[in-house]
Amino acid sequence: MADPNSAPDALGEPLDSYAAIGDGRTIALIGRRGQIDWMPVPDIGAEPVFARLLDDDDGGCIELEPTTEYSVTRRYLPGTNVLETTFTTASGVARVTDALVVGVAGRLPWCELGRRVEGVRGEVSFAWRVQPGTKLGTASPWIETTERGAIIRCGDTAIAVVGDGHAPEEPDATAASVVLRGTINTTADSRHLLVVVATHDEPLRLPDPANVDRGIDRTIDSWRMWSREFSYDGPWADAVQRSALAMKLLVYAPTGAIVAAGTTSLPETGRGGKNWDYRFAWVRDVAYTVHALVGFGLREETHAALSWLSRAIRTHGSPDPHVFYGLDGVPTDGVEFRDAPGWKGIGPVVVGNPAQGQLQLGVYGDVFAVCRTYVDEGNVLDHGTARLLGELADRVCDLWRTPDSGMWELPEARHYISSKMGCWQALNDAVHLNERGQAPGRAERWAAERERIRAWIDDHGWDEEQGAYVMAAGSPDLDASVLLHAPSGFDRGERMSRTIDALTRQLGVGDLLYRYSGAAAEEHTFLACAFWRAGALACVGRYDEAIASMDRLMETANDVGILPEMIDASDGSFWGNLPQALSHLALVTTALTIREVAPDWVA
């Protein structure tokens, strides 16, 4: 019998074939053939001009590939998010360095993709092609002839292609598709530049390729400067730094928001349907990111993320935070469907996420975790944020008895146990912050309700027969998200240890875990849950098991260290949106947890 979650036989590159580059505003996914199949411009949340990832025929792409048979090796340049791909053919070797270029003073006000092509030995002939898409069926691209050459227009987006001694060929006005193309021929020590520059609803600046060449070097230096500020001395150092760099790609520089993933509509299952847009900022991701970045001694991103979150909540919906916000801090609403087939034909393709408007009580714990991490690092909250925390703590005292949609954004409101644990965490942190003078309010009430929550969970959330915390009151189902509340401090004892074993038996496949009971029929294993399990093992004192599991989980990343949302346990293939912030954050926070709690750890 066929696996109901398997993909149909259709066009579409394997998701583990992609590497990601970015500039703090958008992100590009580059495949092993040198092709860029995903790049929204000018922002990561924009309708993507290059989206062959979701529409093989009309999505749009940027190609740069040898014209004869070749083999490929690739890597990120150390300490950077600049990709280096080496192509070896029968006639020679050439190297392509890809960067979304930054400026002298930081992020450029336009999108500038620099592709440096260097001959290593012999001769290699490349064909390149820039073919805009239809913005997922919302625009029709065309070419405008100007005194500076051909300009691609797609709605309000303008795109130019600049070469270094290899200008685009004259476009064919009668062709079925809008496309600019050309060739590059390398010899030993030759150097060429292919530049794609784009703006949206603003003038288009055409760069000098020599400046872009310097810009690629400047981008390399900029990433390495950031990495030098990165401080981590502990287990799995290379993987932790690579995940930190992947997380940095998902920090939206204009506002400080944390993007949940770089893509939309990549399916969680071969049957389709569970295709969501994650190009928004989830409060939970902000919490985990701040914890990780503080652990690395990184200050700017931590401050920006907390400031963004506080402003967003106070401006839109205080004292009830939304589950997620747009990258500008404004809540989004609704889902729109696009006329595109989806990756491997697995639809639908959507813009937006239906989780908005749900009550998710765990969000309150996430907000307090951000603030506690920031304060415990030696910082001081502003009066507005401090007053907000007092309001939120009072709100939790009133709300925690209410059914909610849980962390997994499920349609049925229930008394989810991990949500109640999140409320316990919120009030526990509120009391702590009050003692530090950073959350004014009635701490005695918060402490009393905190203990009532614990008693309620003891009565309704523990199943002695199964030896586990259950998913919801009155249900025998299990939920991997309760593992988050070993590090939170709710339970680091025997009950949590037994819960880990029950989850492993019922939801586990090797080191991987499904999210909750029944999920195996709907989707693949959720990678973050596997890392949470390793972290929980360490918190309950099972250090050897935690370390061994982490060692094995390091093998789930692709060849350049990128992690997806989900993994097919049968073959290790990637599913869901990527790069996935929660997966990279789970790797990082678990490594930090093991370093913190495991005695006498030797990396």
* Averaged pLDDT for residues 154-172: 85
**Whether the Cβ atoms of residue 390 and residue 344 lie closer than 8 Å to each other:** no
pLDDT tier at 6 (50, 70, 90 boundaries)? very low
* Residues whose CB is less than 8 angstroms from the CB of residue 358 and which lie 6 or more positions away in sequence, other chains included: 323, 404, 405, 409
* pLDDT tens digits for range 453-480: 999 999 999 999 999 999 999 999 999 9
Two tokens, residue 346: 């697995």
Distance of CA 112 to the CA centre of its chain: 22
CA distances from 274 to 5, 47, 136, 328, 524 (A): 11, 20, 18, 26, 11
Residue 78, CB half-sphere, CA atoms under 13 Å: how many? 3
**Whether the Cβ atoms of residue 133 and residue 146 lie closer than 8 Å to each other:** no
* Among the listed residues 198, 219, 195, the one whose alpha carbon sits nearest the alpha carbon of residue 209: 195
Two tokens, residue 332: 């989004």
* Averaged pLDDT for residues 289-318: 87
pLDDT tier at 77 (50, 70, 90 boundaries)? very high
Compute, in degrees rounded to 10, the torsion defined by CA atoms 554, 559, 564, 569.
-60
* Residues whose CB is less than 8 angstroms from the CB of residue 81 and which lie 6 or more positions away in sequence, other chains included: 20, 21, 22, 223, 245, 246, 248, 249
pLDDT tier at 562 (50, 70, 90 boundaries)? very high
pLDDT tier at 274 (50, 70, 90 boundaries)? confident
- Give the pLDDT score at 173: 57
- Give the pLDDT score at 11: 66
Measured CA to CA, the distance from residue 347 to residue 350 in angstroms comes to: 9
Higher pLDDT, residue 175 or 123: 123
pLDDT tier at 167 (50, 70, 90 boundaries)? low
Two tokens, residue 328: 């500008």
Which contiguous run of DSSP H or E holds residue 22?
strand 19-22
The pTM of the whole model exceeds 0.85? yes
* pLDDT tens digits for range 148-160: 889 999 999 999 9
Would you call the peptide bond into 42 cis, given omega within 30 degrees of 0 as the criterion? yes
**Whether the Cβ atoms of residue 530 and residue 523 lie closer than 8 Å to each other:** no
**Whether the Cβ atoms of residue 486 and residue 496 lie closer than 8 Å to each other:** yes
The sign of the torsion formed by the CA atoms of 387, 404, 478, 262 equals negative
Measured CA to CA, the distance from residue 584 to residue 246 in angstroms comes to: 7
CA angle (65, 69, 75) in 5-degree steps:
55
Give backbone dihedrals phi and psi of 248, rounded to 5 degrees, phi first: -60, -35
**Whether the Cβ atoms of residue 67 and residue 93 lie closer than 8 Å to each other:** no
* pLDDT tens digits for range 109-137: 999 999 999 999 999 999 999 999 999 99
Give backbone dihedrals phi and psi of 171, rounded to 5 degrees, phi first: -65, 150
Is residue 205 helix, strand or coil?
A: coil
DSSP structural state of residue 23: -
- Give the pLDDT score at 318: 62
- Give the pLDDT score at 75: 98
Is residue 444 helix, strand or coil?
A: helix
**Composition of the chain by helix, strand, coil, percent to 5:** 35, 25, 45
Position 508 pLDDT exceeds 70: yes
Beta bridge partners of 567: 525, 574
**Whether the Cβ atoms of residue 142 and residue 168 lie closer than 8 Å to each other:** no
Compute, in degrees rounded to 10, the torsion defined by CA atoms 307, 23, 590, 257.
20
pLDDT tier at 253 (50, 70, 90 boundaries)? very high
pLDDT tier at 233 (50, 70, 90 boundaries)? confident
Highest-scoring range by mean pLDDT, 85-94, 351-360, 379-388: 85-94
* Averaged pLDDT for residues 30-39: 98
